Structure 1
Amino acid sequence: MEPGNNTHFSEFFLLGFSKDPKLQPLIYGLFLSMYLIAVFGNLLIILVTISDSHLHTPMYFFLSNLSFVDICFTSTTIPKILQNIENQSKVITYEGCLVQVYFYIFFAGLDDFLLTVMAYDRFVAICHPLHYTVIMNPRLCGLLVLVSWMMSAMYSLLQTLMALQLTFCTEVEIPHFFCELNQMVQLACSDTFLNDMVMYLASVLLAGGPFAGILYSYSKIVSSIRRISSTQGKFKAFSTCASHLSVVLLFYCTSLGVYLSSAATHSSDSSATASVMYTVVTPMLNPFIYSLRNKDIKRALKRVYGIVAIKRPIVLGHMKCP
């Protein structure tokens, strides 16, 4: 194949999971279901945290931001999959591919930073409870979220601008269900040394750095919990960060599993399948983890949506009695 300048290149082909037409309705239904659950589940978390004044705290401010980012994260990739299956097409435009790369990196980075900020919030709440309201004031909370957005935006912009400089061969087929940056770089006909170096360096700094921050926060949290004398006090302290810890483990384990599996098998199919875990499944499960393991969310759901509003009919029933 002859290399062509990327300014004249117009289309990529997303190969997806299977070429078997009989499996396409199943894949479509599966992705549509997961997408709807992810969107409505995270939207419910946002509405609850906004509606209930008891949840107007730093912890739930960060959680609502995380839920919003998860909605955007899944919306970056899944609608295009559904559109391609419905149209029986694997085509994505060059511009559309770059836009998808930008927002995918942007929201994935935001997920990472917000999880780190939430770990710091739990660290302050457990290790410095008397100074929690002073340290985690609204100004600092807003600043932490703003810095997370700015860093993610700058990094994703850098990677997208570097991808713009790549030259691709004709009829580029991406063995994935979305435009993943690493796959694009591997398929480029031009020199990709600088792109590879930036990706590896960013992985160490922007993924390893936040992960190290989370580990440090939880090492201090565990140390503080161990110093609590009563078993009930230990359980109460740990329960305040159990949901966040579950989400962190799910996010990092699935992300790490993707790269380990792809590196071990060198199979693009297995990489695409594993990517579903942290691009779709993790955002879908986050609302369930926070709603099922968090008593505050449960109480808020009951207050806002009247799940246990059964006393009123009973009272009315007695009023009707002679």
Structure 2
Amino acid sequence: MPARAQVSAEDIARMRQLQPGEFIAKTREGCSVIRKERGPNSKDVIANSVSRDSWEGGCAEGMALGPGKYIARNDKMETVGSTDMWYFYGRGIGQAVFTSQSPGVYQGSKSESFAWDGIFYSRNVSRMEPLEPKENAVVPRIWYSPKEYANELSYTLHPACGVDRQPCVTEQRPSPTGNFFDGLKHLPCNGSCGSLWMEKAGPLFTAFDNFAQQHAADVAALKQALAPTVERMKREADGQRAAAQAEAARVEQQFRTSLQTMNPGQLFAKADELNAKGDRARAREALRALVSRFPDHPLALTAARQMEGGAK
């Protein structure tokens, strides 16, 4: 099917609307993205997960917009990976690349995906071939997520499955119960996984490639239509960043000057103020300035003791 040359206004309006099962979730910084419910009682879990994540990119009308990097974190606030991608008002579009930061064999591994109009494909191997599973290696996986969550499908090639720990291909579909394992099926390789992997995962690889080719022009057209908005947002962000840097430099210079001009009581009070704000490093600098400039002042001995004891 040939790619369309442009995206209509109707397409754009539709893609900004939430589809059945979709909801808006806020990232750590408050910029929102669109997520899909994944079974019973999943909305709160997903929203909580997104609230730990960060979007390093533009934000318009409270929604992620344009190119950037999505940072994913676990419940310990450890970064587990990042995705270089594009958002259209909170909805992922086009090609994206996820880089894992999980420890072990997954450290630095990558997955590619392609999304358009609520449909999403993802895979961590770039092409279809008769693979055999390997121990202590990234397991090959391909995942298809259509608009209807009930029709999601993924295949993964494992070196050891079940109680007998034999190689298999797992087929994962959503379960009405919401239990992950109720939708999981183990397909034994029976000696050779290559042909089974080709048989099961092959159609998804073909569909992934066809889908990406079919909508590449759509993605390009939408990005082009958004270019003026994205460029304006970039200029505004650059201006805000420059202003913030200038203000930080001004505050820093003011602090440095105050260390040389404040009297002992002011320096001691400044250290208390900075400690109350949690800025222990600068508090110690204020105490150090007090001791250095006024070594014979009664407060100098107290300041020295506080620095030595780590109280401030």
Q: TM-score, normalised by structure 1?
A: 0.27
Normalized per residue, which structure has more strand? 2
Larger radius of gyration: 2
Q: TM-score, normalised by structure 2?
A: 0.28
